[in-house]
Amino acid sequence: MEPFNLIRQMEQEETPAAEELAELLANSDKKVHAALFEAADRVRKNFHGNAVHVRAIIEFSNVCRCECAYCGLHAKNHKVIRYQMSKEEILNAAQDAVTAGYQTVILQSGEDYSYSRETIGQIVSSIKQMGNVAVTLSLGERPFADYAYWKSCGADRYLIKHEISDEVIYNRYHPHSNFQNRLSCQRELYRLGYELGGGFMTGLPGQTPFILANDLLLLKKMRVSMAGIGPYICHNETALRKNPDGDVNLTLRVVAVARLILPYAHLPSTTAVNVKGGLKNALNCGANVIMQKATPYQYRNLYDIYPGRDSKNIPLKEQYESLRSELNKLGRTIYENGDA
Ligand code: 5AD
């Protein structure tokens, strides 16, 4: 199909075929890119207005049992200094974020099973008591009973990306688990009533435009409420060392398509996009969410998933207010009201 027609159809909420979408993603015509970004920006504005949702992420442990081929925190990387924050440290960091104005706290870690179901549950309920705050968990694959228990403790959302939708490549890059497990976790989380956050990387070695198109369509199939899409960034202590980073412009086009096919979804400008200088652009092509670190300063550099992650030592309140003025300069505001 002619690319401009396809963009128009998607804007009218028609789901594209994978082959057609792949062709659009491979199209290098700048006019096509511009049309895509403009359509995504319109849809973002219609469905979400100019307010940007701001989330605080606390990366509370970098211990991980997994062996993801792209991730610097994989279990066999003995060069990383591992840390595990105590329950008190996590609650203090969460309180700081809430006091600074953040209305969502994301708790993220490697797959670190030394935090028991009960410990995580206590942390979730304590944060929920801090006020009008949503709690998002991003703890990877766990027994379904853990997911159910945390929901009963008040957890609102769960982030677990499918990373890449090609089953063979997924299984090669995740030797500790497999693609079907990942999808079962997503299905279960949805069934339990979590707002499900999915997502994937762009530019992973082996990922063709057709796979990328299917990555996008899978988000829809899994009924995600949020989708984090970021470029693959090469880390030298991983199995995928020496592969080139994902392309930021391609990532932005993929975010734009996600906006068209999932108009209601929350789409963050992911940390990986921001590291590559794409924050402002992402907000202009569909993104309506920003995630900022609220991890205590002494741990930030140790959460070394990929290189280049920023670790400025400024108080959270200042970080929040400086984001507010950055956004205001772009004609955007921070979403703040009674409803977290
Ligand atoms: N480059 C970009 N993103 C990565 N992630 C992990 N490793 C990398 C990398 N090398 C992303 C994955 C994961 C999230 C926590 O970080 O998408 O879900």
Residue pLDDT tens, the chain, 340 long: 899 999 999 999 999 999 999 999 999 999 999 999 999 999 999 999 999 999 999 999 999 999 999 999 999 999 999 999 999 999 999 999 999 999 999 999 999 999 999 999 999 999 999 999 999 999 999 999 999 999 999 999 999 999 999 999 999 999 999 999 999 999 999 999 999 999 999 999 999 999 999 999 999 999 999 999 999 999 999 999 999 999 999 999 999 999 999 999 999 998 888 888 878 889 999 999 999 999 999 999 999 999 986 667 899 999 999 999 999 999 999 999 765 5
Pocket residues for ligand 1 (CB within 6 Å)? 70-71, 161, 163, 201, 230, 232-233, 235, 272, 305-306
Ligand 1 atom closest to residue 163's alpha carbon, by position in its atom list:
17
Spatial distance between the Cα atoms of 203 and 55, rounded to a whole number of angstroms: 25
282-298 b/e (C-beta count within 10 Å ≥ 16 → b): bbbbbbbbbbbbbbbee
Instruction: Please answer whether residues 316 and 278 qualify as being in contact, where contact means their C-beta atoms are separated by less than 8 angstroms.
Output: no
Which pTM does this prediction carry? 0.97
Which 3 state secondary structure label does DSSP give 109? strand
CA of 202 to the centre of ligand 1 (A): 10
- Asked if 233 contacts 244 with a C-beta cutoff of 8 angstroms, the reply is no
Tell me how far the alpha carbon of residue 232 lies from the centroid of ligand 1, in angstroms.
7
Cβ contact 230:258 at 8 Å: no
**How much distance in Å is there from the Cα of 306 to the middle of ligand 1?**
7
Question: To test ligand 1's pocket by mutation, which of 62, 68, 70 has the most ligand atoms within 8 angstroms of CB?
Answer: 70
Virtual torsion, Cα 265, 21, 253, 73, nearest 10 deg? 70
Looking at residue 111, its amino acid is E
Q: Please tell me the distance between residue 129's alpha carbon and the centre of ligand 1 in angstroms.
A: 31
Rounded to the nearest angstrom, the distance between the alpha carbon of 338 and the centre of ligand 1 is 32
- For residue 309, what are the contacts with CB-CB under 8 A and spacing of at least 6? 271, 275, 300, 301, 303
Q: Which residues of 104-128 are buried (b: 16+ CB within 10 A; e: fewer)?
A: bbbbbbbbbeebebeebbebbebbb
| The ligand 1 atom nearest the CA atom of 231 | 2
Q: At what angle do helices 87-100 and 117-128 cross, to 10 degrees?
A: 30
